[in-house]
Amino acid sequence: MYAKRGSISDAQILFEACPSLDPVSCNIMVCGYVKAGQLDNARKLFDIMPGKGCVSYTTMIMGLVQNVCFREALVVFNNMRSDGVVPNDLTLVNVIYACSHFGEILNCRMIHALAIKLFLEGLVLVSTNLMRAYCLCSGVGEARRLFDKMPEVNLVSWNVMLNGYAKEGLVVMARELFERIPDKDVISWGTMIDGYLLRNCLHEALVMHRAMLRTGLAPNEIMVVNLVSACGRLNAMGDGWQLHGIVVKKGFDCYNFIQTTIIHFYAACGMMDLACLQFEVGVKDHLESWNALVSGFIKNGMIDPARKIFEEMPERDVFSWSTMISGYAQTDQSRMALELFQKMLASGIKPNEVTMVSVFSAIATIGSLKEGRWAHEYMCNESIPLNDNLRAAIIDMYSKCGSINSALQFFNRNRDKIFSVSPWNAIICGLASHGHGSMCLEVFSDMQRYNIKPNAITFIGVLSACCHVGLVEPGRRIFKIMKSVYNVEPDIKHYGCMIDLLGRAGLLEEAEEMLRSMPMKADIVIWGTLLAACRTHGNVHIGERAAEGLAGLAPSHGGGKVLLSNIYADAGRWEDVSSVRRVMQNQRMERLPGCSGVVR
């Protein structure tokens, strides 16, 4: 009685007064400890109690599952089976839940087989939880086969199967199932709406939302938040306004997280005045709303208002600091970003991976290798975990600060821990910019062996490397496999790399032919690239056509006129030289000087 009422200390006094341990008393105490959150005491008593039966094991497994000790729960279940104790439906439900968190479909199949053996598969509770586990372990097909065999299904079963389809992005199959649900509840509608939102099908989601309202069901706050967030992502201002009206009408605006979502929506749509108005009418002691406003200003390129709000914040967390630092880094105010980072450290807030990505980006822009090494050392000393974005930022920093060897060493140490394309792109582009073409191609080959799929940025780096060292044939081959093997559509930058490569190699006719056959119009850079190659190789005819194309886009482009003048001079056509220079003088053209710098 005491244990059931939560008076665990009184129950413990009575229990300890018992002359010997018996299974019934032990079961009651184990259950009491579990309900009181005293898992260690529950486990100690469970390990020494005599005569463990199904109730004992099930209670202990439930306690471990409720406290997210899934692996330990499965160990206890294995001991239960070894001791010859037969599990019941409640045991299996908890074991199924534990298995689903490891994402291994084989475990689901084994528990399913056991349920069939124990004649528990037909119970709706067991089958529904098995379906859920299959869906979480990417076995939505097996979940559907189980669903179709169930002798009895309830609304929870329908919703679990519907959610499995929705989370996999199978909205057509989800919709077919949804239409068959006899008595849809708000969870059914919300799941279907979420499925559409995951595929960015906002129109279909809103149609479903309006259809739900016509049935008399009211949306819950989670559904409204998801819809408003989607409107922000897809810049659907009109729909977002209507949803904001529903928020106010239903009284959802009293929730802080909904206020934050609405601020994010208006900011994403570029309406910072309305974002500020929502912030002003809301609760001021909600940190996430302050962060949303700062983030909104940053995303809209309004760095000074963002800093003003940042300074007014009553408190700041790591997200506040990281957002502001990122804003400065993105707007090429790298010194301000690094100064703010130092203030963050002085305030006692420990940076995270997101902060450090912005810090390394700022250092890369400045080109200060000394500061880069310090930041890397600080990160290691503070045990800030590495993710692929941070790895890419460190590689990029070392490359842009002139230390490609450090970039390569760091990449090689982390190669086996990389799971995305970003760090590979960083080292490939770094090697390309430093002129290590052959090494760049070796890394590209390694990338394929690691089964990392290249993207458009990868090919820009590899083609640039081929261009820098004149690897024409490898460049042609790589440009060809972009589309045929990796289904990456070449854009104007890829064509620009190829035209530069062919031009540098003196293959000017092929370069011009590629320029003319591009699916998009050539820009100033590509015409200028071809014109520069013509100057290098003394091709007057193609040079004149390139200069004409350049002039058509930028009539006052002084650099193009200088190149054309030099081509004429190299060919001894002095009258044409004089003609071009007169045009330059009349139009007061100037060629802007270039600059670069790396700080050691």
Instruction: Identify whether 578 is part of a domain.
Output: yes
Give DSSP secondary structure letters for 325-351.
Answer: HHHHHHTT-HHHHHHHHHHHHHTTPPP
The domain containing residue 508 runs over which residues? 491-591
DSSP state of 599: B
Q: Distance between CA 376 and CA 382 in Å, rounded? A: 10
Helix then strand then coil, in percent of the chain rounded to 5, is: 75, 0, 25
Give DSSP secondary structure letters for 245-304.
Answer: HHHHHHTGGGSHHHHHHHHHHHHHTT-HHHHHHHHHHS-TT-HHHHHHHHHHHHHTT-HH
Instruction: Identify whether 198 is part of a domain.
Output: no
What does the pLDDT read at residue 15?
A: 59
What does the pLDDT read at residue 520?
A: 93
The CA dihedral of 390, 391, 396, 398, to the nearest 10 degrees, is 110
- Which residues are CB-neighbours of 104 under 8 A, at least 6 positions away? 137
Q: Say yes or no to pLDDT of 4 above 60.
A: no
Instruction: Identify whether 360 is part of a domain.
Output: no
State what percent of residues in the chain have pLDDT above 70: 94
Which position has the higher pLDDT, 113 or 584?
113
User: What pLDDT, in 10s, does the model give residues 39-65?
Assistant: 888 888 888 888 888 998 899 999 999
Instruction: Identify whether 573 is part of a domain.
Output: yes
What does the pLDDT read at residue 3?
A: 45
Q: Distance between CA 388 and CA 423 in Å, rounded? A: 6
Contact 329, 362 (CB under 8 A): yes
Instruction: Identify whether 215 is part of a domain.
Output: no
Tokens standing for 150?
A: 């169930």
Q: Considering just the CA atoms, what is the radius of gyration of the chain in Å?
A: 33
Reported as a pLDDT band with limits 50, 70 and 90, residue 575 is confident
Contact 547, 560 (CB under 8 A): yes
Q: Distance between CA 379 and CA 53 in Å, rounded? A: 52
Give DSSP secondary structure letters for 185-234.
Answer: -HHHHHHHHHHHHHTT-HHHHHHHHHHHHHTTPPPPHHHHHHHHHHHHHT
Q: Say yes or no to pLDDT of 186 above 70.
A: yes
Evaluated on CA atoms 505, 509, 512, 516, the torsion sign reads: negative
Distance of CA 441 to the CA centre of its chain: 28
Instruction: Identify whether 518 is part of a domain.
Output: yes
| CATH code of residue 556 | 1.25.40
Instruction: Identify whether 75 is part of a domain.
Output: no
Q: Strand, helix or coil at 469?
A: helix
User: What pLDDT, in 10s, does the model give residues 467-488?
Assistant: 988 999 999 999 999 999 999 9
Q: What's the average model confidence in pLDDT over 222-249?
A: 87
Closest alpha carbon to 355 in 380, 315, 384: 384
Q: Distance between CA 415 and CA 150 in Å, rounded? A: 47
Number of domains in the chain: 1
User: What pLDDT, in 10s, does the model give residues 135-169?
Assistant: 999 899 999 999 999 988 999 999 999 999 999 99
How many CA within 13 A on the CB side of residue 372? Answer: 27
What does the pLDDT read at residue 2?
A: 41
Q: Say yes or no to pLDDT of 13 above 70.
A: no
How many CA within 13 A on the CB side of residue 164? Answer: 27
Reported as a pLDDT band with limits 50, 70 and 90, residue 11 is low
Q: Say yes or no to pLDDT of 38 above 90.
A: no
Q: At what angle do helices 472-484 and 492-504 cross, to 10 degrees?
A: 160
Reported as a pLDDT band with limits 50, 70 and 90, residue 178 is very high
Task: Please state the length of the chain.
Answer: 600
What is the number of H-type helices and E-type strands within the chain?
Answer: 35, 0
Closest alpha carbon to 56 in 68, 69, 43: 43
Instruction: Identify whether 96 is part of a domain.
Output: no
Checking 380-388 for CB contacts under 8 A at 24+ apart, the result is 382/350, 382/351, 384/350, 384/351, 384/352, 384/353, 384/356, 385/353, 386/353, 386/414, 386/417, 387/353, 388/418, 388/419, 388/420, 388/422, 388/423
Evaluated on CA atoms 77, 80, 82, 85, the torsion sign reads: negative
